[in-house]
Structure formats: C-alpha cells, structure tokens
Chain A
Amino acid sequence: MSQKKYWKGLEELANTPEYQQSVANEFNEELPLDLSDNLLNATTPRRDFLKFLGFSTLAATVAASCEMPVRKAIPYAIKPEDIIPGVPNYYASTFVDNGECVPAVVKTRDGRPIMIEGNTLSKITEGGTSARMIAATLSLYDKTRLRQPHVDGKAVDTFDAVDNAVISGLNAANGAIYLLTGTIISPTSEQVIAQFLAKYPGAKHVTYDPVSYTGILLANEVSYGSRMIPNFLFDKAKTVFSLGADFLGTWISPVEYSKGYTKARKIVSKDIKDFEMNKHYQVEGMLSMTGANADERATCRPSEYGKVAAALHAAVTTGAAANTGSKNLDKLIAKAAADLKKGNGLVVSGSNDVNVQIIINAINHAIGANGTTIDFSTPAKNKKGIDADMVALINAMNAGQVGALIMHGVNPAYEYFEGDKFLAGLKKVKTTVSFSDRLDETAKECKYVVSDHHWLESWGDTEAKVNHFSFIQPTIAPLFKTRAFQDSLLKWAGATGTYHDLFNAYWVGKLGQATFDKALQDGIIEPATQTVSGASFSGNVADAIAKATAVSSKSEYEVEVFQTASLGAGGAWSNNPWLQELPDPITKVAWDNYAMMSPKTAKEKFNAELTSINQVDPKKHVVKITVGKKEVSLPIIVTPGMHHNVIAVAIGYGRDKGVGLAAADLGKNVYPLVGFNGQSFTYSADAKVEKTDAFYPVAVTQTHNSAEHRPIIYEYTLEEFKKNPYELIDERREAIEHYLTAPNEEHHEGHDAYGKGDKFDAKKFEEDFRKNGTHYPVHESMGLHWAMSIDLNSCTGCGACVIACHAENNVSVVGKDRVIKVQEMSWLKIDRYFSGDPNDPDTIQTVFQPMLCQHCDNAPCENVCPVSATNHSSEGLNQMAYNRCIGTKYCANNCPYKVRRFNWFDWNDADCFEDNLYSDGRRDDINDDLTRMVLNPDVTVRSRGVMEKCSFCVQRLQDAKLTAKKEGTPLKDHHVSTACQSACGGGCITFGNVNDKESAVFQDRYVNNKERLFYMLESIHVLPNVSYLSKIRNTDVVMSATEKDEVYNKHI
C-alpha cells in the first residue's frame, strides 16, 4: 500500500517548529482567566464575572447555612459500666427536709437526677411523695447555690484556707462554741457531731426547728416521760379529731399521715354495705388543707384551742356538754366525743402550747388511743427542737458569751421570730460558720460559708422512727465545690477519715457488707413486723386545763401564722419556681403570701368582696396587720371557711435577694409575728388589722369557688350512699337515657336493659351510649386503650401530682405576671370547690378535683384543628404533634374542660426567634444552662406558639410497651404508671389499659366502684378516657345538696 500522506492545511505541510509546538499543546488557547497582579484593577471578563458570581453565591449560601448551633453533647470515650445513654438509672435515696423524711427513688438520666418518686418498699410512706420532695431536683440545679466556700462574703478557692481559719477561730474562741442545727435524724451525723463536741469541750449542740413542735415534745415528756413524738397510726383510726393540726399538709410527717389517712377512707363501693370509713373532725381557726378534707369541721380562735381541748376532754371523760360559745363547735365536740369513745379514736393538735398538748395526751389516754392508734414502740424522731434552748442561745449571743457559732440547716435571721436580735447577737460572735447552700439572710452575715452538698449529692442515713432506717446515696457528683457538713465537722474535729468512711464503717459494722449493700439498693431497713404498744400516761391534767383555758384573746382579730403545703417553712424552697407556681390548695394563689380572711369580715370591715368582678380582678385590698410593735401589710384573699376573727398569713415569703431571683422580695416575712410564751413559740397572736388604700396584684388561678351544682362533682354522705349506692347510676341514666338506644329503636325498653342495683352492667351502658349517642360509626377499640380513674375521695389537694407533672413533662413555669394573666402552663391542676354559707365558716365544705386532659375518644379539640395537629391515637390518646401546630387556639376554645395550654411566649428559649425569651426577672434562672439540666430528655421542650397539654405521659407508655414486648408478655398494670399516679401518696389515681379486664382501672370502673363512677360532662358525648369516683363524706349533710349552699346561691 502506498503511504499517501494527506495534509490538513498549509501549516501542516510547512510543518514549522511553531506549528509542532502548538500541536503538542492540546488546549492551545489561553484560559480567559486573568491571574496577574492587577487582577483587581482589571476589567473582569464576562466568564470571570460568572465564575466569581457563582463562587460568591455558593460561598454566601454555605456561610449562611453553616451557622449551626454548637452542640454540647460529648460522647463517652470510655463508657461507664452502668450508664447506657438514653436509659435511666434509679437510685434509692431519702428526702429530708427539716426533720421530715421520705424514702425516695431518684431517676437519673445520663448522670443527672431528673425525677424523684416515692420508695414503695418503705412501710412508713409506701411510695408517698410531696410537692417539695419532687421539686428537689430543681433545687439541686438552683443557679443561686454557692459554687465555692466563702469567707467574709468573698469566694475562696480551697477548703484549706477556710479550714485553717475556722480551726484557729474555734481554738481561740473566747466563749462557748455552739453548733446550731435543725433536727438531725441521721445516726452517723449524730456520731460526727458527738466527735466534734468532744474535740471542743464546752461546745454545745442546739436544735432549732423553724416551725416548732416544742409543745408536743415537752408535753410528751410530762405525760410519757420522754421527749419524743409517738407514732400516729392514722390508718388504724376510725375517728380522727384534729385541733388545728394540718397533718395532711405540713404537720410533722404529712406524707406518712396522708398515706394512712387516705387508706382509712378508701372505698370499694361493691362492698359498701359492710364498709366503715374513718370520720375526721377538724377544729381550727383558718381553713387548712386538712380542714378542707374533714368530714365535720368547726372553727374557733387559735387562742381557744385550750378551751376546745378542755371541753373535749370533759366530754370524753365526764360526758359534760361543751360550752365554748359556739353552738356548732359544742355540737361537734359532743359528736366527736361520742365517736372517740367508741374506740380507735385519735386526737392530734397543731398547737405548740405544752398545756394544750397535755390535754390532748389526756384525751388520747382516756379514749384508749395509746396502743391502738398511737404507738410508742417506734416513736418518731422528726422533730427535736426545744424553743427555750434557742432563745437562751440568742440571749447568750447578745450577752457576748458565745465564741463561735456553727449553723446547719437553719436560717435564724429569717426564720427566727426576733431575727434582728439574732443578727445583733451574731455580730458579737467572732467565729460564725454557715453550711447554707446560698448566701441567705443568715449566711451573708456569717464569716465563713462552707456549703453543704445537696442531698441528691450526698451520702447519709436517716432514722425517722426508731429502727426505721433510710439511706441517702448520691445520684450525681457534686456540681460545685461543696463539702458534706459532716466532713467539715470531722475536719474541724481533727479527724482524719471522711464522713463516707465513717458512714461505711458504721453500717458495715452494724449490718455486714452484703446486708448493707442490699439495704443501700432498697434504700431502707425496717422491722419486718410492726408492733403497736401503748405507754402509761401520767401528769397533772387539771393544772394543764387550768393553764390552757386561762389563755384568751383580748383583741378583735387574731393572726395565725401557718406553713403552705408548697413552701413549708421556707428555707431554700422559696427559690423553687415550681413550688412558687404551685397554687395553694385552698386559696389557689401562687407566687405570694397574703392575709386570708373570712368573706364576712372582708366585706364588712375591709370592703373586699368575693363576688362579681372582684373575683377576677387581681388587684386586692391591702391590710396592715400589727402585732405588738411589728407590722406587715398584705393583700386580702377572701377565703370561705375562715373564722371571722382570724387572719391567716403564711411563712416562706419576703425573702432576701441572696435566696434567689424567684424568691426575692415576694410577699412579706411573717416570722416576726410569731411569739414566745416563755416555753414555746406561739403561732397565733392578738393583732390589730387596719384598712389601707393600697392595692396589690395577686396571682389567683381559680377565681370561681362554686361548682354551680353542675354534674362535674358528685358527693354523697356515707349514710346516703349506704342507703342507696345506685343514686349516681340513676342520675347518669337519666341524663343520657335518650341516647342509649339507636334512634329507630324503642327507647324506654332500654332503660332497664342494664340491670338494677349491683347487677348494673356499667360496661354495656357505656358501650351503648358510645354507639348510639352519635350518627357516626364507632371506632373499635382493640389492644391497648389507656384510661385513668381518679378517686375524689382520696385526693387531699396536696399538689404532689402537679409538681410531678412539671418535672416529668418539662412543663414551663410562667411567673407571677403571667399567672395573673391566666396564661399558666400546668397540664394538671387541682380544682377546689366550696359549698356552704360563706358567712358561717363551720358550714363550708371543700372538694378537690384533679383536672387534666380527659383524652376524649370523641374529642372536640381534634375535629376543629385546621391542620390536624391534634389527633387521636389508636390507643385512645388525644395526642399533639407540636411540629404541626400553628397555634389557632381553636382546640383550646372547643375544649369543654379548658385543659389545653398554649405557649404564649418563648418560655424556654425553644423557638426560632433570637432574643425573645420571655423574662420577668423572677423565673429567668429557669433557662440557665445549669437549671435546664432538670429537663427530661424524653420530652420535647415546646416552642412558642404551639398548644400543649397532658399526654398521659406518653413517653412512659412507649417505654412500658417496649418493656412488655421485651419480656414477651402482654402489657399489665405493673409495667406502666403516669407521673401523677406515682406521685400520689393517696392512691387517688388509677391508670392502665381498660381493655384488660384485670387492670385496676377496669376493675375500678366496671366492677369494684361502678356505683361511684362518673365522667365529667358525660352527656355531651365527648367520651372522656378519664373517669372520676364520687366523693363520700362521713357526715350528716352535703352542703351542696342543700338550699343553704350560699356559695352557689350567690355564685361566688
């Protein structure tokens, strides 16, 4: 083949060197990119421009979208053995507050304690809780807590600096060394204190209880020979007579007493014929939470407690008729005396007067309570303070006889009635040490502040009753540079070991390692069987009667100082926003203290009314209360059930800025109104009460007091109920009978289709109503169907469930201003209704009703949501899709129960707007990084503008389903509980799968308590999944059923 060569152009033919070079270079044109130095000056070519444009747009987009929040999650590099991220651990511990002691189980998630429940192993409290106990997690993460030891108000970095100074101060003390503590119920701490006292000869230990029980301690010393508080067995009492003791709310050991009390009132209505329920008489000056639960109640002035006690004593011993000046009271005493004499009676008194308590002991002796309802074999140790010791200490301080004062668990500058005198004395003491966790009223005046751990960070033990031990174990490493006060004392006593060593040695020595480990895990050691033994009573009753009845009031008004169920004696609780926002059970006021006053007195003397527009106006009249030389001005909260001459004011308010944002300057400190009678503190005093022109806004969460005779509450007397247990069933039938049969059937035929009396088929009745009350087809309920039953008879109104709900579900705190605006967020609230005549406090009856989302199967909220953000689960839950909610609030309007809560503001820094977090200066700490550690990671924190409400703790339900699935068993009651249910010591709430015939809620509804069962607003066919059980009062008359129900007649 010829090698013909074809050339493509003249260049190729010529084949110059230039041409060869250009062929070698494939892309021989210059790139149109100016990379020279004068780039910036160059006129950019078109393609460059496009490149730059493209690059910069991309860069801008990337930069704009790269603003990612810094995530602070740090994975475990080496996973701790017992922590699985996302899986909670539970530790047994013990809640201790001013001698009150409740065994607890603490839930921790990823090393953070987030929820506290009761320890069901304890026979004392049986898993009961209180609002304060559950709120303790929030106090742990309190931003105001001191993060270092302080000297002269300034932080120091090491304990050594403090220790050396304190030790030299103690050694150089030119007067007695005093250790001032609250009641210590820890055996090992007592050892530590003994060691400390031994090191410094002449050192003394004084115990001070901010709310004193000296009266009862001293009286028992007289009557029974020892300063102790016996074991009150409320569960065994058939008749309880309380003379001003708030034993369900605040008195000595309320969780324990509530448990026993509610047990004695539990009703299984199918057994009603031979059922006995305890009968509770209450005589008091103010309306307390306990008084609100009483079957029969009469009022007197607190100064008349002696006379009432004497009259009751006379009635039970000689049968003499009482003559107290009040007919109601006389009648009540006669009735109570008759009941007490039948046996199994129990008389308690909240009076701090020794003589009154001696008379009470005499009565208990006379009715044979000792050994039946009062046990002396395992007396309680909850309170030990003797007031005279404290007064003597203050006097010694002022006389310059005290060289050093070390304080733990007390804050006398605030909670001592002569705080000024204490502070004056404190100035004369050279070495002053406080173990307070914050710079409170006392600590800020102390030279050294060496903060103690929070109990959730501590080791410890308690002996609330003889031989009943409960352990405290840490659930988190100390957050700050704090030290157990026992360690400090040991250090200052020159001991080498730590408290933990001592604690271990003590218990291992006592129990052996294995038993101790088991005890720590269980949290408690209690005797296997409880023995009840009496005690021999002795003492000069006549003398006590003479002294007690000699007390009388000379002024028109008496002021009574009381503790609220939420804040108690004050302490650090005042700075707990959950507790501050928990409405008082009686007044339904949050965030303040106030002067409680009867409607008659308020209207006639102070121009403050309970009706019409004044109900809802937050501005309340202010009165000036003067006791001796001390005066406080407080707003009036008109409260039915108050004695006309009694004004009640609560402690725990009026705190210093050092206590924290939530507490500072809120309300007034009323401790100064407390008196001292030479033997014990008196919590009531003659007072002058004057009208002022001022008004003060108060946050009241419930402004209407009557249930308006609506079928939302049913209550019967025990006698009525025994006579005709089926009255409520008949009422339900009457209300909905037209809807029980399908429209084309004869309806009168259906009336008796469900059986009469105990043959009543509650299940079929409900199913027929469900099916025939609507035009629409009914959804079959298969598998799980969640349901709740609430027993109104067991609810004492304490509010533990409300706080449990806050803790479990990250419910927002909104602050006083927003509570005033009715914008609070609580998913669960306790409604309180009065009936009776407000002008006659003895007739007032109170009902508490926990109110939460009713999870209606035919929910009116669901069909009105334009975007289906709220919808129904196949398990009967009314659920919220927060992401979908646009916040029209239509669902809330259409909710007959008004239990939906709207996120009015950005409460938790959870929305997408910057810097618009709601702030009121009072709840702001709640959004601190530290405080947010309390949030439950299983529950979404809701953003602004979305609706929320009770979810039946859906996260717990999911967890329970998974557990059951893993076990391979059907889901049963023991798998699941809602937060409110576990918190309730009274066992008021039953929850479970109502499709399971063995579940407690099924049994409660359709077998055991069908006679008492009702649904709120049943007739509107919303088919709620929450049912209630009617309240049974062991009394002669239910006021709301009478014409004398003036609260209803006047619609107040």
Chain B
Amino acid sequence: MHLKYESFIREPLVDGNKTYKDVTADICRPIEQKPSKLWYFGLVVSLLFLGFGAFSVFWEVYWGIGVWGINHTIGWGWDITNFVWWVGIGHAGTLISAILLLFRQHWRTGVNRAAEAMTIFAVMCAGQFPIFHMGRVWDAMYVLPLPNTRGPLWPNFNSALLWDVFAISTYFTVSLLFWYSGLIPDFATIRDRAKTKLRKRLYGLASFGWTGTAKNWQRFEALSLVLAGLSTPLVLSVHTIVSFDFATSVIPGWHATIFPPYFVAGAIFSGFAMVNTLLILVRKIYHLEEYITMGHIEAMNKVIVLTGSIVGIAYLTELFMAWYSQVVYEQEAFKWRVLGPYWWSYWAMMTCNVVSPQFFWFKKLRRNIVFSFILSIVVNIGMWFERFVIIATTLYRDYIPSNWSYYSPTWPELGFYLGTFGLFFTCFLLFSKYFPVIAIAEIKFVLKTTGDKAHEDNLALEEKSLEEFIHIAEHAH
C-alpha cells in the first residue's frame, strides 16, 4: 500500500475517529430503525401535496390549458418556469458525481449519493411540466421519433423543444444508471446485515448478487469511470439545450448567445443550493454530522458564491449587450424587465442571486449552518425568479406594443408546482428511509486517507526524523 500523507491543516472529511464498522453502522442505522414520527409526518404532507398536484393536473387536462393564467401573449408561465427550475436543480447531482469524480475531489463522497438522488427526483419533477403544458397531452408521443403509419411523419429535428426531449431523457437515463450502480455495493452491505428474510431477499435482488470480490470491485470502478465520462458532457449539454429553447428564438430577451454558459452556471448554482438545503436537513435528522461535515457545507458554499457571481456577471452582460447592440427591441425588453410592471420579479432575482451569495466571501458565514440553510433557500427562490423573469417578463412586452399583456398564475398552476414538491419529497423521504443516504463504500475509501483516523495514524509519522520518514515512504507497500 502506498503512503498517503495529508496535511493536518486540511480538514478531515470524516470526523469522529470512525472505524469501518462505525461507518457501516451509522449509515445503515436509518434503514434498519423504525422511522421517526417526523418522517411519517413529512411523508403524509408530501403525499398531500402530491395529491393536490395530481388533482390540479387532472383539472387542467380535463378542462384545457385555459384554466391557467397564460394567454396569447404570454404562452409560457409557471409551467416552463418550473420546468427550467427543476432541471437546473437536477444539475448538481451529476456535477458532483461525475465532474468531481474526474477531478478527484474526495469531499464529494459525503454528498454525492443524496445529490444524485436529488437530481433524479428533480428531473422527474421537471419532466412533468413540458408534458402537461401540452394542449393535447394525449398526443405527446408525436414528439418521439417512432416509426409510424402517418406518412411516415417525423418530428421536427430543427426544434429546440425536440432537442429537449432527447437531452432530458438521456440525462435522466444516465443519471439513474450512475446512481444505481453506485448503490449496488451498499445494497449488498445492507443485505449482509439484514435480520429478516424479506429484507435479505429484496436487498439481495437490488444488489444484483454483489459478493465484493476483487473482480466485482474492479468492474465497479471501471463502470463508474465510464459513466462519469458519459455524464460529464451531459452536465454542460442539458442546460445548454434547455437554454436553446430560448436562445434559438427571435424574441428580444431570449435571442442571446450568452444563454448556454449562463444557464449552466445558474443550474449548478441552484443545484448546489438545493443539495445544501437537503443535506443540512438530512445530517441533522439522521445524525450524520460526522460524515456531512461543516467542511462539506463550506465547499458547497464556495461553489455557490462562484456560480452566483458568474450568474451575476451574466445578468450585467445581458444589460450591457442590450445597450451596446443599439437594437431598440432588445433595449426596451430589458428596460421593461427592470423597470416595467414586473420590476419586482427582476429585483427579487437580483437580490437573491447576485447580492445574497456574496455573503459567502466571509468564512464565518460560510461555516454558519443556519445562515447556509437560509441562504440555500434564498438562492433557489432567486433562481425561480430568474426563470420567471426570462420567460414571463420577456414575453409580456415584446415587439408589438398592442400585444403587451400581463400574467398571474391561477390555482391549478400553483397546485401543479406544489404537486411537484410533493413528488420530490415523497421520493426523497422514501429514498432516505430505504437507501443509504451516504455512499458507504466510497466513504470508507476516503476514511483511510482523510478521516480523523488517518490523521491520527499520520501523527505517528510526524514524530519520525526525515530519514526515517523517507525510509518508510520508500518501503511502504
């Protein structure tokens, strides 16, 4: 075994001097215990929201899109706003699991499982909106390039909306595979610890007969790397393509080349904020503070301040370009965004997304759990407003002033949105009860090198003289 020496200044990724056994026991505990009253309460509330959402969607499908507040000037409202918002949130998971894996950022191990789960659930929520915003949802299969007897008639491959169909479904598939393959050794661990037959059988099935042999591990590592490689471009492509829904149009305020990077940065921004929100809750509820440490939260906060600033620059660039382009429609579009009847949504976006993350330049605040929690929510409110600003406040005053209009949502739109929260939290609560919320196998991998325990072992090395140290290092195996 090679020697890994890590500086003491570097914060341990796992606190509390854990052994492998502790890790397994800690992470499996929520699965093996009876859930708390809080969990049941949460599940019931989530199911209620989900039910209300289902009713709202039923209402809309039965009566028509007219029950929403959108109109012939503003053809997309909360539906597509929420779609982009959820897809954006769904970005953090892949980023953490894929890109951070490739960059060997070991701190990802504490958060990747939950983040990936969040991604999958968020994409599930996002998918509802483009489906049910269709006037004739029963003909939704027309968007699929299925062989057919209608001509054959194919979808329009020029349409950004069609690219979306491919982008989102690919992203969902790859994320799901990545997440599930990571779960296999952990399922095997739970199977091995199971005390009832049923549990053993179910987790046995879920773990695909994992035995933990060297070959198993070798293939597992290989698969992880391949999937990481596959999903890395997806992190950039999905939101790039979502941004094409707007960027490929002719509407001032949408038609902008800055959209792809701006959307990707925004997506990571909101995704990390959402991960923070969830992890701060999870570590508290399941007592996992030693695995999801302050260091993790701080790392996430650093990404938030970075991406938040990128987004801020993008906002300013848009304004600059509107002025610099000297295109009257572009200028006016931004003028009405900033100062028109929807001024409050623009300034809500600016405050939440650009101003508020700047507090994270201060280490004290970065490491303040309450502040981080509040800010993670503020950021997601801001990101919701960003999408609202881009969609509704672009359409409401475009080229022809006679068409200018206003839009406010109705209860079925609100219900649909709340319903996706219901879906998300139902899934997340079930996940946190039945799946290990932290990757057991992966955390064990970093335990040796960056945990409290490893630091203690390294302490002994500190005592040695340089010659001895070199000797140990050279002969370590």
Contacts and interface: CB of A to CB of B under 8 A. Distances in A.
Contact of B143 (A818, A886, A889, A947): A886
Nearest to A1016: B400
A901 B72 contact: yes
Contacts of B162: 866
A913 B154 CA distance: 27
A618 to B, nearest CB: 10
Contacts of B69: 821
B66 A818 contact: yes
Contacts of B71: 821-823
Contacts of B328: 710
Contact of B72 (A831, A884, A892): A892
A63 to B, nearest CB: 23
A41 B63 CA distance: 49
Interface in B328-342: 328-329, 332, 341
A868 B398 CA distance: 25
Interface string A606-633: 0000001101110000000000000000
Contact of A863 (B70, B159, B341): B159
Contacts, number: 176
Contacts of B73: 822, 898
Interface string B161-179: 1100100000000000000
A940 to B, nearest CB: 15
B65 to A, nearest CB: 6
Contact of A706 (B153, B398, B401): B401
Contacts of B233: none
B249 A886 contact: no
A301 B110 CA distance: 80
B227 interface: no
B251 A823 contact: no
Nearest to B76: A893
Nearest to B336: A1051
B180 interface: no
Given A712-B399, A893-B249, A703 B404 contact: yes
Chain B contact-residue range equals 35 or more
Contacts of B130: 888
B361 interface: no
B136 A885 contact: yes
A946 B66 CA distance: 12
Given A821-B71, A833-B402, A905-B63, A945 B155 contact: no
A904 B65 contact: yes
B399 A865 contact: no
B43 to A, nearest CB: 33
A726 interface: no
Given A616-B341, A866-B161, A905-B64, A712 B139 contact: no
A889 B75 contact: yes
A1024 B35 CA distance: 64
A887 interface: yes
A821 B409 CA distance: 11
A707 interface: yes
Contacts of B139: 886
A831 B135 contact: no
Contacts of B134: 886-888, 945
Contacts of B66: 818, 821, 823, 904-905, 918
Nearest to B410: A821
A890 interface: yes
A138 to B, nearest CB: 23
Taking chain A's interface residues, is the majority helix, strand, or loop, or is none over half, making it mixed?
loop
Contact of B159 (A702, A829, A866, A901): A866
Nearest to B328: A710
B156 A945 contact: no
B251 A833 contact: no
Interface in A678-729: 702-704, 706-708, 710, 712
Nearest to B158: A863
Contacts of B143: 866-867, 886
A916 interface: yes
Nearest to B162: A866
A906 B64 contact: yes
B395 interface: yes
B254 to A, nearest CB: 8
Interface string A858-890: 001001111110000000000000001111111
Given A886-B142, A894-B251, A703 B405 contact: yes
Nearest to B249: A894
A714 B405 CA distance: 23
A712 B73 CA distance: 17
Contacts of A897: 399-400, 403
A242 to B, nearest CB: 27
A88 interface: no
Contacts of B128: none
B249 A851 contact: no
Interface string A542-558: 00000000000000000
A896 interface: yes
Nearest to B140: A886
Contacts of B136: 885-887, 943-946
A1017 interface: yes
Interface string B132-162: 0111110110110000000001111011111
Interface string B365-409: 000000000000000000000000000000101111111111000
Contacts of A888: 130, 133-135, 161
B248 interface: yes
Interface of B: 62-66, 69-76, 130, 133-137, 139-140, 142-143, 153-156, 158-162, 165, 245, 248-251, 328-329, 332, 341, 395, 397-406
20 contacts: A708-B332, A710-B328, A710-B401, A823-B66, A829-B402, A866-B155, A868-B156, A888-B134, A893-B75, A893-B249, A897-B403, A898-B399, A900-B72, A905-B64, A913-B62, A918-B63, A918-B64, A944-B136, A945-B136, A946-B135
Interface of A: 612-613, 615-617, 702-704, 706-708, 710, 712, 818, 821-824, 829, 831-833, 849, 851, 860, 863-868, 884-890, 892-894, 896-898, 900-906, 913, 916, 918, 943-947, 1016-1017, 1020, 1022
The 9 closest A-B pairs by CB, nearest first: A887-B135, A945-B135, A904-B66, A822-B71, A889-B75, A831-B402, A616-B406, A945-B136, A898-B403
